[in-house]
Amino acid sequence: VGGGANRVYAPAWTRIDAYAAYDLTERASLQLNVQNATDEEYILRTNGVHHADVAPGRSAILTLNVRF
């Protein structure tokens, strides 16, 4: 990103996301989503030489799904 002496390099990265679900009953289930499971630190995007957005670390979402 950038040009000449102001060039900035963002190294390659790999992000691992995971998902699991479990049926509690015929109408209810639990779902777990984990994003960035290895807590990889990487640059999400850059905007010129003076700005880079670091991606968020590991996050998890637990959901209860109920069907009516």
Global pTM value: 0.72
56 exposure class (CB count in 10 Å sphere: 0-12, 13-18, 19+): exposed
CA distances from 43 to 15, 51, 68 (A): 11, 10, 42
Q: Which two tokens stand for residue 16?
A: 């691992």
Please state, in angstroms and rounded to a whole number, the distance separating the CA atoms of residues 59 and 16. 11
How many domains are there within the chain?
Answer: 1
Per residue in 7-64, pLDDT (tens digit) is 667 788 899 999 999 999 999 999 999 999 999 999 888 876 677 888 999 999 999 9
Domain of 41? Answer: 4-66
